[in-house]
Amino acid sequence: MEFETKCLHAGYTPGNGEPRVLPITQSTTYTYDSTEEIGKLFDLEKSGYFYTRLANPTTGAVEEKLAALEKGVGALCTASGQAATFYAILNILESGDHFISSSYIYGGTFNLFAHTLRKMGIEVTFVDQNASLEELKKAAKPNTKAIFAETIANPALHVLDIEKFAQLAKALDVPFLIDNTFATPYYCNPVDFGADIVIHSTTKYLDGHAVQTGGVIIDGGKFNWNNGKFPQLSEPDETYHGLVYTEAFGAAAYITKARVQLMRDLGATPSPQNSFLLNLGIETLAVRMERHFQNALAVAEFLTEQAAVKKVTYPGLKQDKNYEMAQKYVPNGLCGVISFEIAAGKEVAAKWLDSLQMVSLEVHVADIRTCALHPASSTHRQLNDEELAQAGISPGLVRLSCGIENVNDIIADLKQAFEQLEG
Ligand SMILES: Cc1ncc(COP(=O)(O)O)c(C=O)c1O
């Protein structure tokens, strides 16, 4: 199946007389005829549903679809993108371990890495993702266990040299985890460029309608966990009578462990209702992304012509410093998110945002409706000036997420807000 077809058909094939649309299985539990059968489910000897915290038919169908879209061997949906990132790391790292992350990442991920994981004894080193491979290798330590970055960074919109990061991971013999939220699988499949684990906040483009929070971890299935660095996967798990994930589940060892151990113990499971809504969003992902891209490119061009605007960052613009990298990794299109800098700084940026009429102020991106945000006073307000600069954020920076309205209406609204600055 081609991508657009998978968006509609992967993960759910109704049988004769069954519902055409993926049904919501709004049930926490499932019944069985014998205790023996339930015992086999608990011992992971048999697959099946026994409790919705671990698996649910609606969520399972969406997981299968997402694994197909990202060319993975399996997927685990979570209650939010944050939970997905947290589990993706915690599945293989523990107290005393270290990992390397690009500094161009979402503010919430930065907090998770720099503060919460650190309190748990997992240490991170942030690197400039544009540094050379040799420079990047200097961040490695004997206890380095993973590499992390975003395909298109939120909100700096830097496009990652995915192959360079994959080489770094390979050189260190550790997995490369990538957050592909902004690119979406429609525009980029990081596993094609050597990424091992793909993460999404499904709250964003995959849903697209701003109706549910969710996350997903997709296992590329290619990393060799038997290299002595990941005893969590290659040595017996006492909570399953000494089962060894790499032996029992082969290529799907990582994602199976995330489900049967982390989801079992930590429980950030999505509701079946939310999985249903997410599925509706994914069905139209391909058509929505094309419109997001067309609109964003036209809006970015409009912004470059505005006197009040110092700088526009959109890797679809030929003059953007990430244009070449975008041509390599996301050649067919990009997300609808643009960032630009209002030259006069924080207060004027706030005034411009407050003057918008159709475009709404929201702590969100990737909605079908155009929305805008001021990162320095919202998503990234916990960061100090130095950290803000490291994440590529200036006080006058505006993040604009172009929706799928008629582009003339989006531009008209931005234009009237600029006119108010002149008045
Ligand atoms: C790139 C990226 N990753 C992860 C997250 C976290 O996702 P969630 O808000 O669903 O927890 C976000 C949220 O904005 C994001 O933009």
Q: Are 328 and 386 in contact (CB under 8 A)?
A: no
User: Structure pTM?
Assistant: 0.96
Q: Are 106 and 284 in contact (CB under 8 A)?
A: no
Q: Is 207 in the pocket of ligand 1 (CB under 6 A)?
A: no
Q: Are 63 and 279 in contact (CB under 8 A)?
A: no
Atom of ligand 1 nearest to the CA of 85: 4
Q: Are 390 and 105 in contact (CB under 8 A)?
A: no
Query: Could you tell which of 148, 203, 378 is best to mutate to test the pocket of ligand 1, judged by most ligand atoms within 8 Å of the CB?
Result: 203
Instruction: Give pLDDT, residue 110.
Output: 94
Counting as low any pLDDT under 50, the low residues of the chain are none
Q: Which CATH class is domain 3-280?
A: alpha beta
> Distance, CA 402 to ligand 1 centroid (Å)?
17
Residue 50 and residue 71: Cα distance in Å, rounded? 27
For 241-270, give one letter per residue: b (16+ CB within 10 A) or e.
Answer: eebbbbeebebbbbbbbbbbbbbeeeebbb
- CA-CA-CA-CA torsion sign (12, 14, 20, 23): negative
List the domain boundaries for the chain. Answer: 3-280, 286-422
Distance of CA 272 to the CA centre of its chain: 20
Q: Is 154 in the pocket of ligand 1 (CB under 6 A)?
A: yes
Q: How many CA atoms lie within 13 A of 325 on its CB side?
A: 19
Domain 286-422 part of CATH 3.90.1330.10: no
Instruction: Give pLDDT, residue 42.
Output: 86
Task: Give me the sheet containing 176-179, strands edge to edge.
Answer: 74-78, 215-219, 197-201, 176-179, 144-150, 98-102, 123-127
Q: Are 145 and 99 in contact (CB under 8 A)?
A: yes
Instruction: Give pLDDT, residue 195.
Output: 98
Atom of ligand 1 nearest to the CA of 83: 11
Instruction: Give pLDDT, residue 391.
Output: 67
Instruction: Give pLDDT, residue 282.
Output: 98
> Distance, CA 309 to ligand 1 centroid (Å)?
27
Q: Is 212 in the pocket of ligand 1 (CB under 6 A)?
A: no
Atom of ligand 1 nearest to the CA of 215: 10
Q: Are 309 and 303 in contact (CB under 8 A)?
A: yes
> Distance, CA 240 to ligand 1 centroid (Å)?
32
Two tokens, residue 316: 């679809």
